[in-house]
Structure 1
Amino acid sequence: MNHFEELVGEQLKTMDKLLFIQSEIERCQQLEVELQSLQKQTELVSIQEEIVQMKMELQKIHRMFEKQTEEVVKSYQSKVQPIA
């Protein structure tokens, strides 16, 4: 085997390494995108949980408002009735 063939053989080995590393980089980039997506999904779940909590708090406040409204109406009626 002459020197040229050795150089070509080494170059082919180097090319195989380059292709392997390139495919590994692409695989890692795809994994990175998936992980980023999962992170966004985690954020989405967190926001959805926060929304659920806020809706529950809103219902609680709404019930409190309704009770307060009833008390206001009763108070008003008790003031108006004695006059009538």
Structure 2
Amino acid sequence: MNTVKSFWAGWGALCAAGGTAYYFAKQSINADRALKMEELRKKKQQIEQLRMDEDMKGVKPDKGPYETPKPFKSPKGDRFS
């Protein structure tokens, strides 16, 4: 038969087991999150490195494809002069 003492001992053991399970589950979850964040950071860094390598390969000129190498200068001169 359950006595008051055994009742509280059971609840105490249940709470202690629950707290311990929570503690270890939280550690596991935090470790998984840290691992995922590290993998995400590495992936972003690799993508950024690939983009930088791509940009360095095909260095584009400052001017567009339809711009002339030298600006137009009217033979008559400037209209304000």
Task: Calculate the TM-score normalised by the size of structure 1.
Answer: 0.63
Shift in Å, 1:27? 0.3
Alpha-carbon distance in structure 2 between the residues aligned to 1:57 and 1:21: 54
**Cα distance per residue 1:6-53 (max 9 Å; x no partner):** 101111111101110111011000000011101101111111111210
Partner of 1:43: 44
- Which consecutive aligned stretches of 4+ in structure 1 deviate over 4 angstroms post-superposition? none
Q: Which has the larger helix fraction?
A: 1
Map 1:1-84 to 2 at 5 A: 1-58=2-59
Where structure 1 has 5 or more consecutive residues not aligned to the other structure, the ranges are 62-84
Alpha-carbon distance in structure 1 between the residues aligned to 2:41 and 2:11: 45
Identity among equivalent positions (%) equals: 5
Figure out how many residues of one structure are paired with residues of the other and give that number.
60
Matched to 2:41, the amino acid is K
Where structure 2 has 5 or more consecutive residues not aligned to the other structure, the ranges are 62-81
Alpha-carbon distance in structure 1 between the residues aligned to 2:24 and 2:3: 32
